[in-house]
C-alpha cells in the first residue's frame, strides 16, 4: 500500500525551525501549535494514509493543549507503533522539502538517518530531497515551508 502526505507551516522570525527532528540554523522558524516539524507531519500523514488510518489531525488534534510545543517525534513514534501493532512494515519513504532559505543540502543526510532511526528502518529505505521554490509565491519568498511525503508499506 502507498500513502501520501503534505504539510505546510508559516515561517516567522524568532521561531525554531525543526525539520525531520533536526534543528536547522535559520533566522526564520515555523509557526505552529507543536514544534512545527513539517517533514514529520507530512510523513505521519503518508504512513497513516497507507494504512487507511485517517490523518494526523484526527489522531493528535491541534486544539488539544497536550500537544502544545510538542516534539513531533512523539507523533511519529505513536504512528510507527500503531502501524506495527497492525502488522505493517515500511518498505520505503520518499520526502521532498520545499524551503527557499537556508539551503538544506548540508542537513539532508542527518535528516535521512534520523528519520530512518525513528521509523525503525534502514537508511537505504529513506530518501530526502530538498528544493527551493525558485523565489516564487509564499514558499519562494520564505513565508512558509512545505513537505511532501510518500511511503510504501506492506502487511507482514
Ligand atoms: Mg503541521
Cα of 8 vs centre of ligand 1, distance in Å, is 6
13 vs 3: CA distance, rounded Å: 33
Cα of 104 vs centre of ligand 1, distance in Å, is 19
State how beta strands 28-31 and 144-155 pair.
unpaired
pLDDT tens-digit map of 90-137:
999 999 999 999 999 999 999 999 999 999 999 999 999 999 999 999
| Ligand 1 ion local residues (Cβ < 5 A) | 7, 41
pLDDT band at 33 (very low <50, low <70, confident <90, very high): confident
Would the pTM of this model clear 0.85, i.e. be above it?
Answer: yes
pLDDT for residue 156 is more than 90: yes
pLDDT tens-digit map of 47-97:
999 999 999 999 998 888 888 888 999 999 999 999 999 999 999 999 999
142 vs 137: CA distance, rounded Å: 9
- The vertex-95 CA angle with 92 and 96, nearest 5°, equals 155
Cell for 91?
518498505
| Close Cβ partners of 45 (under 8 Å, ≥ 6 residues apart) | 3, 4, 5, 6, 7, 55, 56, 149
Cα of 87 vs centre of ligand 1, distance in Å, is 26
- The vertex-100 CA angle with 137 and 8, nearest 5°, equals 70
Amino acid at each position: 500500500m502507498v500513502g501520501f502526505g503534505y504539510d505546510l507551516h508559516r515561517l516567522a522570525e524568532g521561531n525554531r525551525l525543526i525539520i525531520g527532528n533536526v534543528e536547522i540554523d535559520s533566522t526564520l522558524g515555523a509557526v505552529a501549535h507543536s514544534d512545527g516539524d513539517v517533514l514529520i507531519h507530512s510523513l505521519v500523514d503518508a504512513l497513516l494514509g497507507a494504512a487507511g488510518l485517517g490523518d494526523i489531525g484526527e489522531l493528535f488534534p491541534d486544539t488539544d493543549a497536550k500537544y502544545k510545543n510538542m516534539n513531533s517525534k512523539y507523533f511519529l513514534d505513536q504512528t510507527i507503533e500503531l502501524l506495527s501493532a497492525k502488522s505493517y512494515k515500511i518498505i520505503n519513504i520518499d520526502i521532498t522539502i520545499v524551503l527557499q532559505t537556508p539551503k538544506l543540502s548540508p542537513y539532508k543526510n542527518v535528516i535521512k538517518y534520523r528519520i530512518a532511526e525513528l521509523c525503525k528502518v534502514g537508511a537505504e529505505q529513506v530518501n530526502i530531497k530538498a528544493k527551493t521554490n525558485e523565489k516564487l509565491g509564499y514558499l519562494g519568498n520564505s513565508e512558509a515551508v512545505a513537505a511532501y511525503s510518500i511511503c510504501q508499506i506492506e502487511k507482514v
